[in-house]
Structure 1
Amino acid sequence: MPELPEVETTKNGIAPHILNKTISAIEIRQPQLRWPIPAEVSEKLPNQTVRDVTRRGKYIGVHTDAGTLIIHLGMSGSLYFVEPNTPPLFHDHVDIHFGAQSPVLRYTDPRRFGAMMWQEGNWTDHELLNHLGPEPLTQAFNVDYLYAKTRGRKQAIKQFIMDSKVVVGVGNIYANEALFMAGIRPTRAAGNISKARLAVFVEKIKLVLAAAIEQGGTTLRDFIGGDGKPGYFKQELKVYGRAEQPCRVCQTPLKEIRQGQRSTVYCVQCQK
């Protein structure tokens, strides 16, 4: 599933090619994604100029004067460019056209868990976004904030940090990695972690996300960035996907468990 670095990479990949371009047409071949694509998308986007492309959590906002097209990549969605008149494949559900001579922005989604929604006015007022926590790479996400949020919480720290109401974009891959880098066992109760250890955890979350963005995200199965290239951060993973392999620090075989139906991999020696 594309996580924050993959979504940021996609946004950065498509933005230079669509900024200040006028949308000539929207071609929707499959209107039923995770939710039906609202009629406003096909009614209001044509003839609008793209003023900005931004990200909030795992959502991409394509902003026009009429409103914002909100895109979520779901489990297997991706955005990429094709030449005009390129025949669509079976899972290519939406094309955004920018004139007869311009490349077409194509949305493909084999599992159809992604979404395209519409919002007029402030796009973060949309019901999918208005409850989201702070962005992890901003100053709003800091140790004072996280310490206050964790007090009294018995939930395991890994599941806690993956809650988008607490902080956005710390998905399964990067939660595993940041916890390892901070030396925190993923099963430890969030409320039982000291402020000093949480300060390290916040630092490592920021570090691992920034590094993944720098390298274009993590390609595991379906993800391809908006520039059509895979992400290379998989080569840097220290624990995720490495169950039973030796810890890169102490050589102890890494342990894998399930938390909230997600794979958790950690080192029983390095993480306490």
Structure 2
Amino acid sequence: MSIKLVAIDIDDTLLNSDHAITDKTVSTIKRAIQQGTHIVLCTGRPLAGVAEYLKQLEIDGDNQYVITYNGALSQSVDGKILKSHILNLDDFKRIKNFCDRNNVQFNVLDDQSNIYTTNHSINRFTVVQAYENFAGIQQIESIAELASDFVMTKAVLVGEIDQINLVENQFKIDFANQYYQIRSTPNFFEILNKNANKGNALQDLRRYLHLDLSEVMSIGDERNDLTMFENSGTSVAMGNSSDFIKKHTDLVTTDNDHDGVAEAIEKFVLNH
């Protein structure tokens, strides 16, 4: 079967080292869209944080899709939520208590790209996170300020690498398999609903579109892409991926500074 959906990670996959999409990758993706292929950006970012890339790639309309918050939401690019795996206020309280005990800063995101934190001194990594994702930061004194039906897509523990190393290990001890946990960057440890990951979200979308597994290809570079690889008929690691990631994919393309995404699409989508 031909590939009808390509799931693409953003950071260090779609984007090069200058945090830009190369001209060749843009033109190749547009050609794939013109022949009817769904190009689905799969990211830890909220929808607001991918809007500029969707616009650049001309991915629009209610029949084009994106996977956001590391798989907490599958949605159309115009914002309609198809499937969600979210957290609630009880989770917020549990995670906040853990962070207070371990003296680590954190924030949570709702399903509208807003960031909330109870930290009085906002961590610089949270500021960068908000800037990159075009998100506002709402500082609250207590959880009591939030509505009883408040939902969040994920919590993010932020800090220096050594600190996050320690709290990541402790969180896994304290909560085991209660949540899906991913070290998305050296300074970010993310906590999601136990059913929220890129792979489950991709499976949700594939079923929604009535596609066979063999009609799905995924391209990524990090550990949070592993579940996406597992739910694809063809999995492709970027050349800049670690050896560990490369061992878990069917193929390896060139790196993100040498049009790796374009090369994979040309080979497996446009030439078939």
Fold similarity call, TM over 0.5: no
Q: Which has the higher contact order (CA 8 A, sep 6+)?
A: 2
Larger Rg: 1
Higher normalized strand content (fraction of residues):
2
Higher normalized helix content (fraction of residues):
2
